[in-house]
Amino acid sequence: MDYETNETHVGMADMKIAKAPAVLTSLGIGSCVGVILYYARAKIGGLAHIMLPDIDSVKNKVNRAKFANTAIPDLLEKLENLGADRRFVKVKIMGGAHMFGFSKTNKVFNIGARNVEKVREVLKALKLRLVAEDVGGSYGRSLYFYLETGEVRVRTIAHGERTI
């Protein structure tokens, strides 16, 4: 099984698994959602940078890492293959901003909120525990996920920096 042990960037519609002392990063997340799974006992975890809620609602199903309802189960499966016990896997989510002034009722430009809603639904169905989140607003976020501690540093341009 492949996993990262250094600092690795997870681009849009991608996912990576890593083990301490790795750092997984996703830079400039807007309406996308960064989903982090962490299994503290083995210091392994994964980050999925999802773009869309539902693989079943689109024609183009090439990349499973792009969708909430495929990326999260895939990520969990990879961690379980490395020995993670899902009862102790902790989840953190970040992103899902509403970036544009365009109407919030517009389906296309309301995607941030729809992404977050679907992520919660998938986590519930998988009985995964959401321990922290930093979602919504109308600004971008960069994530730094430290596998050593399980902490996630969230950096923004005008809305401060925090660790969750």
Partner 1 sequence: MSKDKIILTDRQKDVLKEMANICAGNAATSLSQLLNRKIEMNVPQVDFMPVSSVPEAVGGAEALVVGVVFQVFGDAPGVILLLFPQPDARVLASILTGKYDSSKVFTEMDQSAVKEASSILSGAYLNTLTSFTQLGLIPSTPSIIIDMAGALIDGILIQLAAVTEYALLIDSEFVDEEKSVRGHFFLLPNPGSLESILSSIGA
Which residues contact partner 1 (rule: CB under 8 A)?
Answer: 11-14, 27-32, 51-52, 57-60, 62-63, 66, 97, 99-102, 108-109, 111-112, 139-142, 157-158
* Residue 32 among the catalytic residues: yes
Give Cβ neighbours of residue 124 (< 8 Å, ≥ 6 apart): none
Report CA-CA distances (Å) from 73 to 46, 69, 127. 11, 7, 11
Residue 52 or 84 having the CB closest to partner 1: 52
User: Residue 21 and residue 143: Cα distance in Å, rounded?
Assistant: 16
Report CA-CA distances (Å) from 118 to 96, 109, 160. 11, 16, 27
- What stretches of the chain show up as alpha helix (H) in DSSP? 68-81, 111-125
The DSSP code for 107 is T
18, 29, 32, 116: which one is catalytic? 32
Instruction: Name the 3-class secondary structure at 105.
Output: coil
Length of the chain: 164
Catalytic residues: 32
